[in-house]
Amino acid sequence: MPILRDLTQLPNTALQGAVAIGNFDGVHQGHLEIVRRLLERAREVGGPAIIFTFDPHPVRLLRPESCPPPLTWIERKAKLLAAQGVDKVVAYPTDERLLRLTAREFFAEIILGALQARAIVEGPNFYFGHNRGGDIALLEELSSQAGLSLDVVPPVEFAGEIVSSSRIRKLITDGEVALAAQMLSAPYRIRGMVTHGAGRGAKLGFPTANLEAIDTLLPRLGVYAGRGWVQSAPYPAAIHLGPNPTFGEAAVKVEVHLVGLEANPLTQTSLYGEPLEVEFLAPLRGVKTFENQAALATQLAQDIQQTRDIVTSYFSPEK
């Protein structure tokens, strides 16, 4: 799905539909409930289902020191939303002008003007306009005056607590990636550029792709089982996140061993300088210091076997 950014050149297929506005960071189960209602309203008004989001998040401009790392990058967010049936994603390039719009100006200029919305769907904690001056009560008033339907979708709970991006962020920070995945629409994923490392993994028989320039939240230091994508094909991935104390290195690195990649004759291109996406399925262990390289190699073999088993189990047809 192409991401729309210019409000002055929106195609007709992005107008006169049902609109949901928000950050949608992570695209979690609470967001999916909003999307389900959005699709219903879009069918009723005979228009598209539109998500209007911001890139970057307004907090990054207003209070950059308090802006947490995102859970998703914008292209990933759009892909996850499209998988749920959303027709268009509008990612407004957040600027000072947008941040100065009052709630009433935002409603008139964006919702009625640019999007020509016929229906609106939001969560109960929705705020809009300068200094978050508009809330659900004002949105209801403005929608009623304009003849738009407004649906306020209640929060979704999991294990007795409301599902939210901040709750999921805390779980990932604690390394609870499997639990976080139950609240997300897909397992948690990061992306980075593959760079050259020290080459020790290859010498041990377990070559790794070293990731840098990661622009989303990193899980707690440790070793994880997951998957990585090369040329749109998924591979089981043993992911080491942290320093290499066995070799006296303190710098935190993200190293990914893609299980079976070297055995695939169709994948001969170098990964260096290319982006790599990696998702986290389950934690395996913490970062350890090993007595020697032989002990490390033995542990790596165990990590890889566990990774194979977890990936096979996670994606088995019976699940």
Chain segment 253-284, per-residue pLDDT in tens: 999 999 988 755 445 457 888 999 999 999 99
- What tokens were used for 54? 């911001």
Specify whether 8 is located in the same domain as 155: yes
Three-state DSSP state, 78: helix
Residue 319 within any structural domain of the chain: no
Specify whether 125 is located in the same domain as 221: no
Specify whether 130 is located in the same domain as 205: no
How much is the pLDDT for 268? 44
- What tokens were used for 285? 């262990």
Specify whether 216 is located in the same domain as 86: no
End-to-end CA distance of the chain: 28
Instruction: Quote the CA–CA distance of 303 and 285 in Å, as a whole number.
Output: 9
What is the largest distance, in Å, between two alpha-carbon atoms of the chain?
73
Stretch 282-298: mean pLDDT: 93
Specify whether 243 is located in the same domain as 153: no
Question: What backbone phi and psi angles, to 5 degrees, belong to 174?
Answer: -85, 0
Residue 297 within any structural domain of the chain: yes
Q: 275-285 and 189-195: which strand pairing? A: antiparallel
Q: Give the CATH number for residue 201.
A: 2.40.30.30
Residue 313 has pLDDT above 70, yes or no: yes
In this structure, the number of other CB atoms found within 10 A of the CB of residue 76 comes to 19
Chain segment 42-53, per-residue pLDDT in tens: 999 999 999 999
Using 50, 70 and 90 to split pLDDT, how confident is the model at 219?
Answer: very high
Residue 222 within any structural domain of the chain: yes
Q: Give the CATH number for residue 14.
A: 3.40.50.620
- What tokens were used for 119? 């229906």
Specify whether 206 is located in the same domain as 297: yes
Residue 168 within any structural domain of the chain: no
Eight-state DSSP code of residue 154: P
Specify whether 155 is located in the same domain as 198: no
Residue range of the domain that includes 20? 3-159
- What tokens were used for 169? 């962020």
Instruction: Provide the CA 67 distance to its chain's centre, in angstroms.
Output: 16
